Chains A and B, each alone.
Chain A
Amino acid sequence: MIDRDRVRTVMRKDWVEVVRSPQSLAALLVVPAVFVVALPTVVLLLARQPGFVESADDVRPLLDVIPAGLLPEGLDEVQQLVYVVVVFLLAPFFLLIPVMVASVTASSSVVGEKERRTIEGLLYTPLTDRELVLAKILGSVLPAVAITWLSFLVYTVLVNVLGWPLLGRLYFPTWTWAVIMLLVVPAIAFLGTSLVVAVSGRATTVQGAQGVAVLVVLPVVGLVVGQAAGVALLDVPVALVAAGAIVVLDVVLFRFAVGRFQRERVLTQL
């Protein structure tokens, strides 16, 4: 049986450590800031300039492959381009944010504890392997999801405010992105973190543990590219199926991470 209070205690301790580390905070906030603020601001300000349509040659082919139902009706070409960039090209980065944030915090909280020689103290307590692994995963997943949701809120406000002069309406988030935020983001954050924690017991450096997150990042990057190419467009049914599939993977990977966690390795590979 899992003692929730012990799990919460380790999670809370990990959060305090992250919040009080300027390096960790910077690593967590820079990527969302670029994706959420910098990129959409540049795009939406450029969209107001004459010649935007001509400068968006690379994006225009996407208009031809997007199924009619996924684009609102009555948009002119500029409006369509803005909509495509905001909804189909930039928004998929919200799937990268939780994986990247969670992998940074998870690798730091497991391998970092090994490097700082603090983890043996935890191992001498009544914490079970399952509790420790769950605490390390949730301690990274929850902040990652919170940062992603906060970023999404900022992005939503920003693209609607900056996009209002162009589209004259609130156009983001779409139902697809609402589903993705609520279901896919937590699931994919859990997936990336579980993977990092599973290898962290054996990794000796933070960078080594973070490297494995590439296994989750790459499919997400593929999804971003797929969106850009118009071959893997997300809609509500696809998002629901993806969320279900990732949750199944989460359960499998969590069990794997617990089974793979060995106090002996953690102690002898400090």
Chain B
Amino acid sequence: MIKDITIGQYFPGNSFLHRMDARMKIVLTLALIVGIFLCRSLVSIAVVVAVTFALIFVSGVPLKMVLKSIKPLAIIVAFTAVLNIFYIRGGTTLFEWRFLHITSKGLFTAFFMVVRIICLVIISSLLTYTTTPTVMTDAIESLLSPLKIFKIPVHTLTMMMTLALRFIPVLVDEVDRITNAQKARGADFDSGGLKEKVKALVPIIVPLFVSSIKHAFELADAMECRCYVDGKGRTRMKKMKLSFKDFIALLVVAVIFAGIILCNIYFKKVV
């Protein structure tokens, strides 16, 4: 159950996407997401789907793992689809029964929403699959550094983020370990009603809190012992540098972006 959480999960590899500069990756991911929401015609959405699959292929992450990241969203996607089908009116009416109307525009909107959400999740999970959490937060810090002018403690914020990300696998392991220990004492997490199920979690949550707080104190001590001071004057072991392939990626995304807009102009808009 807990193992299904794929956010922040890194998939080791050495693909083009793995080797790109993380800052460029973040910016281009955002650009692609904007592109996804600009799609209005069937051809442009087809372009987006093609690009998404091309990216999966380039990243070398197995399709199965990528699809796993969509699984938790299945309910939300289905819900959005149903809402759109029944609420949006326009175009030709295909079906009518009392207060229910299904129109062609509603169907198209629902279809677009589903495809958009799925592509969005896939593209953003590819970002985390191909970037280690530490590199990711470094990149975010670098991208946010202009905010320092407004006296926003960017370094502290990203340090908190690094630590939070860093501790996800630790906590996942811990949950596993505690769950196993309680299962060995006959804990039953599957049967019973909602109340029993929630109650069954207490033996996991209490030890988890205890050990998280312990981890936090230990970490604070360890950082102090190594003379950690906040922000100013810290240098990096690994400097981030833009390289040739980052500009190729930029060019490709620019072409895709232009393509989406051109398709919107030259083909029939359906939503």
Q: A and B: real partners?
A: no
Which residues of B pack against A, CB within 8 Å? Answer: none
Which residues of A pack against B, CB within 8 Å? Answer: none
